[in-house]
């Protein structure tokens, strides 16, 4: 179940509010055969997190939550989590880091629970004794503003609001769950890169980003900040395995000359300030890579029109 983007936080006694975690969404299920972890994209990733695959929890259980990595200040860091994503990008020496599984929903406990109201599922979840590195997410009822101030002061990702009485609807983006982001963020497909200069002569200058729009990518800009030295080398190694002769983008006079094209296989997560009138992202910064399928990263889903329409729908409903 996915949350719908919402323009701003609100106070309402019919809603509960949780932090929006900057990590990897994951369903954890346990049965007689052991524990299985599945990503939002449907990918099995049990071997990637052995500390979760070996926890001692009751059988016949399905949990929904977020795998996170904490930085030295105790804040979730998607950049740190890159060392655990298990893709070709870790070949450049990105090291594994400790993780925590933040659990926020209980979908099955000896029987399916998704038809129960939210508060009933959460009450059953609160009675579970979960071992380290698993924790149950804190939640607050009625007031979002104090949490929102905490998010802004600590530069956290955002908040999620969930309507009391709502059921869990798998596979849908429901207005019963609403997310408020502290910054604009999107997924974009990497279709090429520019040559690096100076200290980046051996890696790259920027990644060229696009969104699926029909048979090609629609160019939305380039991101050249947010990379560590290790990630620059690891990403360039991966890009070199994907080189192609023709651009995967539609013809665009704004594409930088001398760009190097790659197969559109990597999905990047990028933070940015705003959309320009020409449909480009302003002041982007690289966050990490997502395991989401390329086909889902479309202009309709991630572009400014889609977001604006969602915001307008939110205003209309309220």
Instruction: Give the active site residues.
Output: 20
Taking a C-beta distance cutoff of 8 angstroms, is the pair 196, 224 a contact?
no
- Dist CA 245 CA 262 (whole Å): 8
Three-state secondary structure of the chain = CEEEECCCCCCEEEEEEEEECCCEEEEEEEECCEEEEEECCCCECHHHCHHHHCCCCCCCEEEEEEEECECCCCCECHHHHHHHCCCHHHHHCCCCCCCEEEEEEEEEECCECCCCCHHHHHHHHHCCCCCCCEEECCCEEECCHHHHHHHHHCCCCEEEEEECCCCCCCCCEEEEEEEEECCEEEEEEEEEECCCCHHHCCCCCCEEEEEEECCEEEEEEEECCCCCHHHHHHHHHHHCCCECCCCCECCCCCCCCCCEEECCCCEEEEEECEECCCCCEECCEEEEEECCCHHHCEHHHHCHHHHHHHHHHHHHHC
The pair phi, psi for residue 213, each rounded to 5°, is -145, 90
Taking the C-alpha atoms of residue 158 and residue 23, their distance in angstroms, rounded to an integer, is: 12
């Amino acid at each position: 179940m996915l949350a719908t983007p919402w323009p701003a936080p609100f106070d309402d006694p019919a809603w509960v509010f949780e932090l929006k975690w900057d990590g990897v969404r994951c369903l954890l299920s346990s049965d007689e055969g052991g524990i299985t972890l599945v990503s939002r994209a449907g990918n099995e990733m049990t071997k990637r997190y052995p500390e979760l695959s070996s926890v001692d929890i009751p059988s016949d259980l399905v949990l929904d939550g977020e795998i996170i990595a904490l930085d030295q200040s105790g804040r979730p860091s998607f950049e740190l989590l890159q060392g655990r994503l298990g893709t070709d990008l870790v070949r450049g020496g990105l090291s594994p880091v400790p993780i925590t599984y933040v659990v926020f929903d209980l979908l099955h406990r000896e029987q399916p629970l998704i038809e129960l109201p939210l508060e009933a599922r959460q009450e059953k979840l609160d009675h579970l004794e979960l071992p380290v590195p698993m924790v149950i997410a804190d939640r607050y009822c009625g007031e979002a503003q104090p949490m929102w101030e905490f998010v802004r002061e600590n530069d956290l990702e955002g908040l999620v609001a969930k309507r009391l009485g709502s059921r869990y609807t798998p596979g849908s983006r429901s207005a019963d769950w609403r997310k408020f982001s502290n910054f604009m963020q999107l997924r974009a497909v990497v279709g090429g890169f520019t040559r690096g200069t100076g200290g980046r002569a051996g890696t790259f200058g920027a990644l060229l980003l696009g969104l699926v729009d029909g048979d090609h990518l629609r160019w939305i800009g380039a991101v050249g900040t947010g990379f560590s030295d290790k990630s620059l080398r690891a990403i360039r190694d991966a890009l070199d395995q994907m080189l192609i002769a023709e651009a995967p983008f539609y013809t665009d006079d704004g594409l930088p000359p001398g760009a190097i094209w790659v197969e559109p296989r990597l999905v990047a997560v990028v933070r940015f300030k705003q959309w320009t009138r020409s449909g480009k992202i302003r002041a982007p910064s690289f966050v990490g890579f997502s395991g989401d399928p390329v086909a889902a990263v479309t202009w309709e889903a991630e572009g400014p029109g889609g977001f604006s329409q969602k915001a307008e729908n939110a205003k209309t409903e309220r």
